[in-house]
Structure 1
Amino acid sequence: MTTAPTKTLCPYCGVGCGLEVQPPALPGKATNRDEAGTPTWRVRGDRQHPSSRGRVCIKGATVAESLDKNRLKYPLMRNSLDEPFRRVSWDEALDRIVNRIRAVRAAYGSHTICMYGSGQFQTEDYYVAQKLMKGCLGTNNFDANSRLCMSSAVAGYIQSFGSDGPPCCYDDLEKTQCAFLIGTNAAECHPIAFNRLREYRKKNRQVKLVVVDPRATPTAKAADLHLAIRPGTDIELLHGIGHLLLRWQAIDSLFIEDCTRGFAKYTQVLDKYPPELVARQCGISLEELEQAARYWAENERVLSMWSMGLNQSSEGTAKVRSLINLHLMTGAIGKPGAGPFSLTGQPNAMGGREAGGLAHLLPGYRVVANPEHRAAVERHWGLPEGQIDSTPGLAAWDMMLGLEADRVQFLWVAATNPAVSMPDIERTKAALRRSPFTLYQDAYYPTETAEYAHVLLPAAQWGEKTGTMTNSERMVTLCPKFRDAPGEARPDWEIFAEVGRRLGFERQFPFRDSHQVHQEFVSLTKGRVCDMSGVTYDLLQREPIQWPQPAGVEFDPETRYSKRLYEDFRFPTPDGRARFGHAHARGLAEPPNPDYPFVLTTGRVYEHWHTQTRTGHISKITKKHPHPFVEVHPRDAKKLDIVDGMWVRLLSRRGQGKFKARVTKAISPGTLFVPMHWGFLWADNAEANALTHPEVCPDSLQPELKACAVRLMPLTVELSGLQIAAEDSSAPPPISLHELIQAGD
């Protein structure tokens, strides 16, 4: 264990805040303790980190309190899901895994082997997994929970610009004239980045903020203009703004002529979205629509930001491209304070994209469908020509469908919790239960997904292994190991590499440490948009580095933390021009109807993270949100005789759940909001994804987790044959398994 503070990166959201972590006790200083009096690591913001400048939210500030809670320390195995786990040695567990992979390949082929990974991986973990799956095993069936998070942004960037990669940086937050936020509650979900924007606006009152969201979130309450549109009408709104910009000739004709293609066809699309019609469809006033368009027209430096509200949609890619279109028609890209900025959900979803961590990608922003890309990676990995399959692998939801149809024979899940986070969760659980063999690799136990595993492998987590992560602004930070992993837990990349060696690929996995993994990975980025060939551990030990950073190029002290893509207005397409998208709005995949009259949207709360695997063990956070809840507008609540604090039931075509009603004008009438953090370990029958549907965007394959049709009613309980309304009973729902575990502790 080190005795000095360690500079690292927060392992939660994609803002990528720098942290300093101090040991539980330093010479001459008081010991830091949690609420139970146990010595803990002390966490504070790193004032030298360029992205966060010393700021940290409650999740980052308390992250060390979860380090030793409910950890998986040793390999566990069982023969069937009906048996209890038994502790085994690493050799016994690895032998079973390797023998099973060999048997499945021989009997069914490599295409029946899948791995589902995570934006919680470090880039080194991601990279070794790609080499094992897509290279050595010859299957592209690696996908990650970033598919549920950022894949529409990836597809939108590729289709519009020719490559993935957010073109903006956090420096733009303090140079913009107008920030246009759509589908993001950044004040709660990306708080430190949003605080930079908020503070800049306080000093520059002329800077405008537009927020598009059906909810009056803390982000919306800070806005000059809040557009509370109906869920699913984002494309109508964006095309309506584009229609007005074109009508007013508030466009950059020279940029359009010299730097883009497809504008004429785009204008034909805009013709179908007159402002009067758009305002009616979106449920906003014509004046509000015109004001939003005026902000775009009157400001040269417009910075748009978005997150799950656009991405998690059955037309997510079309939404992203419709937003990018506004930048292309006004030339608001490649300039300080301007551009389309995707706010990444997870701490290393960007690193995963760079390493090829989705089923259609290869390292270095390459794609499996491109023969030149495949050949370059095969040469780099020392594999025969044709080893990498030319067909994209199974995306996240397709893996569940594959389990249903017996087309998946080996499922490897690592650092994620699909038994909570997948859509249509009861169907997901049924698919997981059908799996002939599931290997689950995680740092914590129990989790909901562990219920469906045959083998559990203990993984080292944040602070227990060394690697890199890339945040939303393309800033790469080294995350050093500062403590030993508990028990026999190992880094994810080491587990992947050991399995590869035992399968006979010793030459492909010679790595002695993560430094060697990183060196091999960054050499594959040379000449690509995400060129990190000049990024080394030695440099990263001094300071974070923003890519592109080619080998041999020295830092420019003036611009090292404010790099933008496409400043020369040339794009990585065959002709160097960006492309306008031409999609029309299709609307929600599951619109409301008389039987299910409400639209349910889901999301995060400020304090919690994903499925609570970490945050659920931190008392400061769980006290803030002890129960799941549903936001209901007072008008809807009154019609249904629902009062604030009452337990209510939500039903969709797929499932149901019970939640505490939070009656608030912060939600639009006809719309409900439920946080997505509670799985069956944390509450009884309160899973948001029991309600959601699995329809996906045809381009990004990202599920529409943000909208489904539901029915709302007061919760009733049966007692001696009588129906008693929930408001007449102060008793909460039955105690959860997690509460029983905590009581046992």
Structure 2
Amino acid sequence: MKSVKTLCPYCGVGCGLEVVHNPSETSGAIVDNWKVRGDRTHPSSQGMVCVKGATIIESIDRGRLLYPMFRESLDQPFRRISWEEALGRIVGEIQRVRADYGADSICMYGSGQFLTEDYYTAQKLIKGCLGTNNFDANSRLCMSSAVSGYKLSLGSDGPPACYEDLELTDCAFFVGSNAAECHPIVFNRFLKYRKRNPQVKLVVIDPRQTPTAETADLHLGITPGSDVDLFHAIAYLLIQWGQLNRDFIKNHTNNFAEYVALIQQYPPEDVAPRCGISVAQIEQAARYWADSQRVLSLWSMGLNQSSEGTAKVQSLINLHLLTGQIGKPGAGPFSLTGQPNAMGGREAGGLAHLLPGYRSVTSAQDRSDLEQFWGLPPGQISPQVGRSVWEMITGLEEGSVQLLWIAATNPLVSLPDLERTRQALAKSPFTIYQEAYYPTETADYAHLLLPATQWSEKTGVMTNSERRVTYCQAFHTPAGEAREDWAVFAEVGRRLGYEAQFPFTSVADVYAEFAQLTAGRVCDVSGLSHEILAQSGPQQWPFPQGSEPTSTAKRLYLDDHFPTANGRANFAPVHPRGLAEPPDLDYPFVLTTGRLYGHWHTQTRTGRIPKIQQMHPEPFLEVHPRDGQKLGVSEGEWVRVESRRGACRLQVKVTKAIAPGTVFVPMHWGSLWAQGAEVNNLTHPAACPISQQPELKACGVKIIVEGN
């Protein structure tokens, strides 16, 4: 029996998997020859695995894109071409567009499915060699508000806590996170700990009574968009009760006086009606926080996917600064990443405002450092923040984007305002789509399809939500003519004349170069290599040169010193702005979206696994019984849900799990799996002005019962 250790390619928990090959099997099917189980030695998941990880092997050889395919226009069928022709067309189009329109007319949209080496090579090609910062990733839809919140409040991106804190805390606040379904292994670790320690409290803040909320000591089913009000009301009580860490505030924070002045405007009796909860509930939440020596807050899309996502994140971090609940075991603000390598992407510079090593495109010193390291002339890296993914869409509308390269993601399901997105992609002069699977919704809008390897076929590293870097080893040959993402980017770079910038002969070479660039940075991995990770197992950063495995700090800011100008963390005195599109007489309901236990993102993998399709066969609309009665609609009936942008047709699920006035639809179904039920037909692109993360969690809708 041969076994290979790797990482689950789904959510940001980063569960270790052990894939076992049975040589006695003679079938040619990968699913028959390989079995998957949890890796008991992986410190993050400790051998646990959810249904997605347990069935992952079943997706490997189903619906794969096997060869490069091309068509001159979207109304033509694809024809198979060689890699030589495909690479020639990419290079030719980049050269033509760069000469005629400038580098800023070229965009790449990547993914947290990338390995860190894929991300890094793409940054070198797009931001370094081509001189445009127009690289964004689907982390923009997922974690960019957490990035900006950490940066503004604490001085740097990077969650300061770790999973071990789930087993040390006195009180956990899960905010806008249905971890029981979306990050189940993390949540299971907490539940096991809480079962042994029943005095540990769990507070869940979510408009839905999710499986996470069902286990809570206190569930605050707040009105969508009222998170900042709630955090300020809790702060109001903590200050009123004198439950604050004055020494920490005095010695390690900025802006406290301004923050206190603002908080006085948020007494619970004023805030409770806006939140749709009682004063007693706010007081109970504040009391749990005040009475706990170690408070851990965990959040995900419910905070991030908002037009004030950064303000929400900062307002939650404010509570940690107010009480000194940071930089110690069992405490701290902890964002739960959505994708397996969204953290690695942030480290490698994989958003339009970032450069590798937690550097910024707006910093002259950071740009100069990269130019020297990459052997590029001064001024080669643009000082302008690149286009976010939605700005790429509007650029296609305007004609200012002439070439769009999409890789390892499916934006024709995941982006907001899908009809507008479809129309924009239909105008694209040249779209490259690099993907492991076919068909997908996005493939319908591509001119050139490039077959990519997926997790089982390529080697590299990923970083999970607790900053733990795992070496993922390929364990079987690529399907068809699929190539590794980093290798495609490097070959294009060489053919564009940048041979010196892409000397890599292996993926280990790529990681070695990236690791050098992180030396001295918050996300320092200069002491790591493929060899060390393969020998010693997953490691958390920072891991500077000379570190020994397991000797590095599990948490950031243990010394209460923050990477800001004066070493202090920043209180953020911000007023809430509410929803970008609140309900009104024409669209009286707030639609919120989310994920289900079995499916993941746009079903590119899970839609091809029969067991998961049986678990979650179709989308639905959750409606509170009171609203169902007003509408005259019953369980199982079909309705049309409309927003100002589009519509979808769904079956009703009547449940008290959703608050009155709010409705819920899971986000996984695109036109490939449920034509006419795509929830992002409804959502809008209004985004946080700081993080540029769209408000996918809330928009105004109306419900029309069929036959009425």
Quick check: 1:112 aligned with 2:110?
A: no
Which residue pairs with 2:490 in the alignment? 497
1:26 aligns with 2:23: yes
Look up the match of 2:4. 6
Corresponding residue to 2:359 among 366, 370, 376 = 366
State the alpha-carbon separation in 1 of the partners of residues 134 and 100 from structure 2: 17
Equivalent-residue separation in structure 2 for 1:580 and 1:4 (angstroms): 53
Q: C-alpha displacement at 1:609, in angstroms?
A: 0.6
Aligned to 1:306: 299
The answer as to whether partners of 1:16 and 1:51 remain within 8 angstroms in 2 is: yes
Contact 2:539 2:549 in 1 (8 A): no
The residue correspondences of 1:665-676 to structure 2 (distance < 5 A) are: 665-676=656-667
1:548 aligns with 2:539: no
CA contact (8 A) 1:177 1:300 kept: yes
CA distance in 2, matches of 1:647, 1:600: 17
In structure 1, the residue matched to 2:268 is 275
Q: How far is the alpha carbon of 1:30 from its aligned partner?
A: 10
Shift of 1:638: 1.0
Q: Does 1:55 align with 2:48?
A: yes
Matched AA of 2:307: S
Give the C-alpha shift of residue 40 in structure 1: 4.8
| 1:423 alignment partner, SS class | coil
Residues of 1 paired with 2:33 and 2:606: CA distance? 15
Aligned to 1:722: none
C-alpha deviation, 1:300, in angstroms: 1.7
Q: Aligned residue for 1:475?
A: 468
Residue number in structure 2 paired with 1:741:
none
**2:671 paired with 1:680:** yes
| Partner residue, 1:176 | 169
Task: Kindly provide the CA deviation profile for residues 203-227 of structure 1, in whole angstroms up to 9, marking residues without a partner as x.
Answer: 0011000000010000000100000
Name the CA distance, whole Å, in 2 between partners of 1:148 and 1:218.
24
Query: How far apart are 1:574 and its partner, in Å?
Result: 1.2
What is the CA–CA distance in structure 1 between the aligned matches of 2:34 and 2:400, rounded to whole Å?
Answer: 45
Work out which of the residue numbers 648, 651, 655 in structure 1 matches 2:642.
Answer: 651
Other-structure match for 2:382: 389
Q: Is the 8 A contact 1:658 1:715 kept in 2?
A: no
Query: 1:379 offset after TM fit, Å?
Result: 1.1
Counterparts of 1:113-262 in structure 2, within 5 Å, are 113-262=106-255
Q: Secondary structure at the match of 1:147?
A: helix
- What is the CA-CA distance between 1:280 and the residue it aligns to? 1.2
Q: Is the 8 A contact 1:46 1:53 kept in 2?
A: yes
What CA distance in whole angstroms lies between the structure 2 residues aligned with 1:33 and 1:519? Answer: 35
Give, in whole Å, the separation in 2 of the partners of 1:10 and 1:319.
30
SS at match of 1:590: coil
Indicate conservation of the 8 Å contact 2:23/2:33, yes or no: no
CA distance in 2, matches of 1:320, 1:381: 35
Equivalent-residue separation in structure 2 for 1:591 and 1:629 (angstroms)? 22
Q: Distance in 1 between matches of 2:706 and 2:19?
A: 46
1:709 correspondence with 2:700: yes
SS of corresponding position for 1:158:
helix
Q: CA deviation at 1:31?
A: 7.9
Deviation of 1:643 (Å): 0.8
Shift of 1:647: 1.4
Cα distance in 2 for partners of 1:175, 1:267 equals: 30
Distance 1:453 1:40 in 2: 34
Aligned with 1:288: secondary structure? Answer: helix
Q: Does 2:508 correspond to 1:515?
A: yes
The counterpart of 2:686, out of the listed 671, 695, 701, is 695
Matching residue of 1:91: 84
Where do residues 573-592 of structure 1 align in structure 2 (5 Å cutoff)?
573-592=564-583
TM-score (norm 2): 0.99
User: Contact 2:602 / 2:667 at 8 angstroms: preserved in 1?
Assistant: yes
RMSD (Å), alpha carbons:
1.2
CA separation in 2, counterparts of 1:715 and 1:319?
38
Offset of 1:713 from its aligned partner? Answer: 2.0
Give the alignment partner of residue 401 of structure 1, picking from 394, 408, 414. 394
CA distances 1:64-98 after superposition (whole Å, capped 9, x unpaired): 10000110000000000000000000011111110
- Which residue of structure 2 lines up, in the alignment, with residue 287 of structure 1? 280
Q: Distance in 1 between matches of 2:299 and 2:549?
A: 30
SS in 2 for 1:157: helix
> Which residue pairs with 1:603 in the alignment?
594
CA distance in 2, matches of 1:137, 1:572: 31
Matched residue of 1:146: which SS? helix
**Equivalent residue for 2:613, pick from 597, 614, 622:** 622
- Indicate conservation of the 8 Å contact 1:633/1:668, yes or no: yes
CA distance in 2, matches of 1:104, 1:215: 48
The answer on whether the counterparts of 2:114 and 2:341 sit within 8 Å (CA) in structure 1 is: yes
| Contact 1:629–1:675 (8 Å) recurs in 2 | yes
SS at match of 2:474: coil
> 1:99-133 CA deviation, whole Å, 9 max, x = no partner?
01000000000000000000000000000000000
SS of corresponding position for 1:463: helix
CA distance, structure 1, for counterparts of residue 91 and residue 706 of structure 2: 49
Partners in 1 of 2:380 and 2:105 — Cα distance? 16
Say whether 1:635 aligns with 2:626. yes
Secondary structure class of the residue paired with 1:39: helix
Residue 432 of structure 1 is matched in structure 2 by 425
Of 225-234 and 562-571, the range deviating more from structure 2: 562-571
Q: Alignment partner for residue 459 of structure 1, among 441, 452, 456?
A: 452
For 1:48 and 1:715, the matched residues in 2 are separated by: 54
**Counterpart-to-counterpart distance in 2, 1:40 and 1:286:** 59
The alignment partner of 1:531 has SS state of coil
3-state SS of 1:5 partner: strand
SS in 1 for 2:665: strand
Q: Following the alignment from structure 2 to structure 1, what is the Cα–Cα distance between the partners of residues 123 and 542?
A: 22
Please report the TM-score for the alignment, with normalisation by the length of structure 1: 0.94
C-alpha spacing 1:663/1:576, structure 2 compared with 1 (3 Å): same
* Code of the aligned partner of 2:23: L
- Determine the structure 2 residue equivalent to 1:734: none
Unaligned stretches of 5+ residues in structure 2: none
1:243-271 residue CA offsets vs partner (Å, 9 max, x unmatched): 11011110000000000000100011101
Note if contact 2:26-2:33 (Cα within 8 Å) is conserved in structure 1: no
The residue type paired with residue 680 of structure 2 is: N
Deviation of 1:33 after TM superposition, in Å, equals 8.2
Q: Please, which runs of 5 or more residues in structure 1 have no aligned partner? A: 717-724, 726-745
**CA distance in structure 2 between the aligned counterparts of 1:423 and 1:144, rounded to whole angstroms:** 15
Q: Secondary structure at the match of 2:573?
A: coil
* CA deviations over 1:38-70 (Å, ceiling 9, x no partner): 625211000000000000000000011000011
**How many angstroms does 1:715 deviate by?**
2.5
Describe the shift of the 1:31–1:293 C-alpha distance in structure 2 as closer, same or farther (beyond 3 A): farther
Identity %: 65
Contact residue 309 and residue 706 of structure 1 kept, 8 A: yes
One-letter code aligned to 2:332: G
Distance 2:612 2:640 in 1: 25
Q: Is the 8 A contact 1:41 1:65 kept in 2?
A: no
The answer for the alignment partner of 1:737 in structure 2 is none
- Number of aligned pairs? 707
**Secondary structure of the corresponding residue to residue 2 of structure 2:** coil
Using the alignment, how far apart are the partners of 1:603 and 1:308 within structure 2? 8
Match of 1:419 in 2: 412
Question: What is the CA–CA distance in structure 2 between the aligned matches of 1:504 and 1:460, rounded to whole Å?
Answer: 25
The DSSP-based 3-state class of the residue aligned with 2:461 is strand
* Deviation of 1:32 (Å): 12
